[in-house]
Amino acid sequence: MRTQVAIIGAGPSGLLLGALLHKAGIDSVILERKSGEYVLSRIRAGVLEQGAVDMLASVGVDARMNAEGLRHDGFAMGFANRRLRIDLAGLTGKQVTVYGQTEVTRDLMDARKAAGLVTIYEAENVEIHDFDTRNPRVTYEKDGATQELLCDFIAGCDGFHGVCRASVPQGAIRNFEKVYPFGWLGLLADVPPCSHELIYANHERGFALCSMRSKTRSRYYIQCGADEDVNAWSDQRFWDELRRRLDPEAAEAVITGPSLEKSIAPLRSFVAEPLRFGRLFLAGDAAHIVPPTGAKGLNLAASDVHYLGEALREYYRDGSEAGIDAYSARALARIWKAERFSWSLTMLLHRFSNMNAFEQRMQEADFLYIESSRAAQTTIAENYVGLPY
């Protein structure tokens, strides 16, 4: 089999890149080692920057998002039982849209299938070859037989543990990483959210987040030990602990119910440099990880795909390699800004086990400054709604 672009990974970054390439008349084949059902079972974030929303609209995959997504003009930060609203619309003129990553993935899957484009699920033992030449190729196993996919380029959209980044020679790549000494325990329930906008709360017992997937489905998180067992957390224990960490008004508004899903996610910041190796490009979680505090994971994947899609369109339309030569630097410039924002919010809103009295006072001073400064709130708002591509 031959294609122009082999995309490894059928998550939102791979599917969105495939949609952008199809719109530009560029052929692609997507290889995914898991089943489609497994991909859709993964519970992920759900806050979309305007840039991501616009990209979905540009490929005609926005009808359900427009009907079901929740437009938010702001969000709240809580500290010492006080709540500060960051007025996104008033400070930036922009909004964010709450629409689950699972739903984005489903919409992109459905659109790709309707267009008759090739996605190969349950492709086992995927290996990439010769990406440092002009004739890269991918091998994989399907139904017990080894297959080969010839291509012009390989897009590594296969996540943090995928084969693409792992295939780069060790001396050609540099990894930057910070692992945080805690995780997020998340609970999904079919109950109305306690607030119509998200609440990020710093409490002496640890961080908490009140978010939602719809007007009737809520997603809540609390900071926990990185090595804790999710089975030790009954629903009742979770709800009790969540309420302790919220301001009285928010705690009173929490409606409890049985969990649909409960899991613990570790937190890390990670960036790989560079993002191009001959005719292999890394995008999305294969290239970077952000802690979820700033809701940047999916949005960063979208910006990577924007730059990569532009570069490949320029190559096939104009015969120019300027875009693919510039891809890594363009994407990394935005990645590091989003990493900084996510790191800074994580440091502000979480309690660290080794935090001393001085560092705790610094957290309090940061919050008081943000509370008193329109300029500081504008900086947060600009980053939260998404920096320009």
Selecting among 136, 221, 291, 296, the annotated active-site residue is: 296
Return d(Cα 209, Cα 229) in angstroms, integer: 20
Residue 81 has pLDDT above 90, yes or no: no
Angle at 179 between CA 101 and CA 275, to 5 degrees: 65
Return d(Cα 35, Cα 49) in angstroms, integer: 28
Per-residue model confidence (pLDDT) at position 44: 73
Query: Is there a contact between 28 and 6 (Cβ–Cβ < 8 Å)?
Result: yes
Q: Does 180 participate in catalysis according to the annotation?
A: no
Joined tokens for residue 29: 């084949």
Q: Does 369 participate in catalysis according to the annotation?
A: no
- Dihedral angle sign, alpha carbons of residues 339, 343, 349, 351: positive
Selecting among 140, 180, 200, 327, the annotated active-site residue is: 200
Topology (CATH) of 5-47+95-177+268-346: FAD/NAD(P)-binding domain (3.50.50)
The domain ranges of the chain are 5-47+95-177+268-346
> Quick one: what percent of the chain has pLDDT higher than 90?
95
Q: pLDDT tens digits, residue range 213-260?
A: 999 999 999 999 989 999 999 999 999 999 999 999 999 999 999 999
Where are any strands of DSSP class E within 171-243?
Answer: 174-189, 199-202, 208-212, 218-224
Query: Is there a contact between 209 and 193 (Cβ–Cβ < 8 Å)?
Result: no
Query: Is there a contact between 140 and 29 (Cβ–Cβ < 8 Å)?
Result: no
Q: Does 248 participate in catalysis according to the annotation?
A: no
Entry pTM: 0.94
Q: What is the mean pLDDT of residues 36-54?
A: 89
Q: Does 140 participate in catalysis according to the annotation?
A: no
Q: Does 327 participate in catalysis according to the annotation?
A: no
Selecting among 292, 307, 315, 327, the annotated active-site residue is: 292
Three-state secondary-structure class, residue 127: strand
Per-residue model confidence (pLDDT) at position 348: 96
